[in-house]
Amino acid sequence: MLIDKYSRTVYNLAFNFCGCSDDANDLTQDIFIKIYKNIDKFDESFNISSWIIRISKNHCIDYWRKNKKNNFRIDLEDNLVRDENSPEDNLIKSGDLNKLREKILKLKPEVRSLLILRDIQNHSYKEIADSLNIPLGTVKSKINRARIQLAKLYEDR
Amino acid sequence: MNCNKFEELLSAYQDNSLSPDEKKTFTDHMKLCSDCEAITEEVDHIKAILPELNRDVPFFLKNRLYLIGESDEEQAPVRNYAYLKWVAAGIGTMVLFLNLFYFTNIFPAANKTLHTAVAGVENFVVEAEAFIGRIKESNNLFIFKKTEVITKANKKKRDAKAKRKTIRGFKYG
């Protein structure tokens, strides 16, 4: 079923794109409604995963453009790390992750979606290029620039 | 190598896809430039922690998504009639232009053709009305004749009945 296979991809793209779990829930729901409404139009000779990634990315960018004036907020408790490390380590790690999420939101929407797909969701460059119909070289250079920009933003803290 | 070129090649270096010469130039620059070295370390660091932002879909959301899937399966296919508005717009535009050409003489050729066409249609309507009138008339004649035949037959029956009554009158009267 589509939901079992792709809900994680869609949800993580939405969540890291807007930085807030409430918005991510709404976005994921909207994206799946869109997918089900347009499933008849899907050409079966293409890869469904690419099609879903493209719909998700476009929907996230539209949502961002419509709502960017409302200032996206980050839920700090969303990334509380609770693993086997000491509570202090977990707190530091949570702080790092929240800082990183905050900085990701400062990237341009187009570049942000590429970075999320590559470095958070671990899709290959080729998969991203095929999904979004962008040349492979462009994808690589955009992701490279996004990483450097994010590193500089993160360094400033 | 300058810092801009260094940044351009950073991902390729991390992916280990630089040629040996490029790699050497890259590492030489990194040894000399502390800023580029710091950026490389920072990119390495964020690349290592970014996958930790990948998280599971909340349970309640997954349930909601299943409901969307189910409700969609039950729905009857929706017909798209959006094209009708374009058809209506096309017809409207055509009518507008035909009126323009008919009532004005902007394009004399079109005006003449339209007037001829309208006259043709009018003639056709008059002839069709006359034809329908003739058919109606012939149908009336047919009905009239039929009625007359029936009347004659009835008259025969009536006469026979009267005759039988008279005979009965003679018998029992």
Q: Domain map of chain A by residue range?
A: 2-156
- Residue with more model confidence, A49 or A68: A49
Q: Is the pLDDT of residue A68 over 60?
A: yes
Q: What is the ipTM metric for this complex?
A: 0.82
Suggest the residue from A32, A96, A101, A115 to mutate for an interface test with chain B (most B CBs closer than 10 A).
Answer: A32
The pLDDT of residue B170 is: 61
Check residue A138 and give its pLDDT: 92
Tell how far CA A142 is from the center of its chain.
Answer: 15
Residue B88 token pair: 């209506």
Distance, in Å, from the CA atom of B60 to the CA atom of A24, rounded to the nearest integer, reads 13
List pLDDT tens digits, range A5-64. 888 999 999 988 888 888 889 899 999 998 888 888 887 777 888 889 999 999 998 888
Selected for mutation to probe chain B from A2, A17, A36, A128 (highest B CB count within 10 Å) is A36
The end-to-end CA distance of chain A, in Å, is 42
- Give the pLDDT score at A76: 57
Instruction: Name every residue in A having a CB less than 8 A away from some CB of B.
Output: 1-3, 7-8, 11-12, 15-16, 21, 25, 28-29, 32-33, 36-37, 40, 79, 81, 93, 96-97, 100-101, 115, 119-122, 140-141, 143-145, 147-148, 150-152, 154-155
When pLDDT is cut at 50, 70 and 90, the band that residue A73 belongs to is low
Query: Does A83 have pLDDT greater than 70?
Result: no
Query: Does A144 contact B65 at a Cβ distance shorter than 8 Å?
Result: no
Q: Is the pLDDT of residue A125 over 70?
A: yes
Distance separating alpha carbons of residues B46 and B44, to the nearest angstrom: 6
Written in H, E and C, the secondary structure of B38-68 is HHHHHHHHHHHHHHHHCCCCCHHHHHHHHHH
Closest-CA residue to A63 (of A99, A97, A112, A101): A112
pLDDT at B72: 57
- Residue A142: the pLDDT is 92
| Architecture of domain A2-156 in this structure | Up-down Bundle (1.20)
Cα A103 from chain centroid (whole Å): 13
The rounded distance, in Å, linking the Cα atoms of B172 and A127 is 115
The whole-model pTM stands at 0.64
Binary contact (B38, A150; C-beta < 8 A): no
Write down the pLDDT at residue B3.
86
For chain B, where are the alpha helices, taking DSSP H only? 3-14, 20-32, 34-49, 59-74, 83-103, 108-172
Report the C-alpha gap between A41 and A31 in whole angstroms. Answer: 15
From B23's Cα to the closest Cα of chain A, the distance in A is 17
User: B76 is written with which tokens?
Assistant: 């009857």
Q: Cβ of A100 and B42 within 8 Å?
A: no
CA distances (Å), origin A135, targets A35, A43, A70, A127, A138: 25, 21, 33, 11, 5
Render the burial of B70-80: b for 16+ CB within 10 Å, e for the rest: eeeeeeeeeee
Lowest-pLDDT range of A85-99, A135-149, B4-18: A85-99
State the smallest CA–CA distance between residue B22 and chain A in angstroms. 17
The CA-atom distances, in angstroms, between A49 and each of A15, A55, A123, B39, B98 are 18, 10, 11, 34, 51
Mean pLDDT per 10-residue segment, chain B (173 residues)? 85 86 88 88 88 86 81 59 88 92 86 90 93 82 59 76 72 52
Residue closest to A104 by CA, chosen among A18, A5, A7: A18
* pLDDT value at residue A63: 87
Which segment of A85-89, A109-113, B103-107, B117-121 scores lowest on mean pLDDT?
A85-89
